[in-house]
Amino acid sequence: MEKNLKIYTEKLRSSNLRPTKQRLKICQFLFDREKTFHFTVEALNKKINKNGASKVSLATIYNTVEAFTSAGYLKEILTNKNKSYYDTNIKSHHHFYDEISKELTDIHYSQIKLSKVPTPPKGKKIKNLEVVIRIQK
């Protein structure tokens, strides 16, 4: 983590957050991984505080995730019932959402072809278009 400490400190500062030990722990958990990571704040809280002596408060986790989302380091994905998932892969891509296991799986952007997209309301433009496909057994 030492080499990433500087990167994490910068991410926190650019998100208007002080780089505390707890927030650096959140950064390490989110960004020290090879594959994309999908999570809810509640699940992240359980994983971060699973067996550590130094607990991170739920409020700190919420605030950090919200600040990272606003800064563009995380992407928010709404599934159903206003449940927010977050994704460490911020590039445009689609998802499968398993309604039973509550898991998101990436779908590469080029794997879905849309033939018709509605015109946005007057004075608005489409920023991005992402599809969530709900799956079940």
Give the pLDDT confidence of 33-76 residue by residue, as tens digits: 888 899 999 999 999 988 766 789 999 999 999 999 999 999 99
Q: Cα 113 to chain center, whole Å?
A: 24
Residue 38: count of CB within 10 angstroms of its CB: 20
Q: Is residue 128 very low, low, confident or very high in pLDDT (cuts 50, 70, 90)?
A: confident
CA 79 → CA 96, 127, 129, 132, distances in Å?
10, 19, 15, 7
Specify the pLDDT at position 2: 61
Which has the closest alpha carbon to 79: 109, 46, 106, 102? 102
**Predicted TM-score (pTM) above 0.75:** yes
Specify the pLDDT at position 50: 86
Is pLDDT above 70 for 98? yes
Give just the sign of the alpha carbon dihedral 132, 104, 46, 53: negative
Specify the pLDDT at position 55: 87
Strands (E) located in the chain: 38-39, 75-78, 84-87, 94-98, 103-107, 132-135
Is pLDDT above 90 for 107? yes
Angstrom distance (rounded) from CA 38 to CA 94: 12
